[in-house]
Amino acid sequence: MRRLPSIVTALALVFLTASPRPAPAVDAPYEAGLMRIAEVMGSLHFLRNLCGDRSDRWRTTMESLIEAEKPDPERRARFIASFNRGYRSFEGTYTKCTASATEAITRYTVEGENLARDLASRYGN
């Protein structure tokens, strides 16, 4: 009877290794913050251009973030989708610069700064 546990263990190992399963992807703890920063940059890109700042500053900053992260294609697509979500969220709301649009610029700038500072202090080198 003492051999039964070792036989059961051996069988369990055979079955577990016979059908390998890919390990589930686990996001880094800072991933949600980076995706939010991408969304904020998309919002700022739309709003700043709407209110007269004709530049690609936020798109260029987003491209720099993607380049620095060197993401795989799936993660790269998530960055781009977050940026575009931020852009489109205001594109459907504002057709001209208003007081609420300039207030949104201020709020998103502060949020982006706070997110960047928080991520750098928690996870930076």
pLDDT in tens, 74-92: 999 999 999 999 999 998 8
SS3 for 93?
coil
**Percent of the chain at pLDDT above 90?**
66
| Rounded distance between C-alpha atoms, residue 57 and residue 86, angstroms | 15
| pTM, two decimal places | 0.77
Closest C-alpha among 102, 87, 2 to residue 39? 87
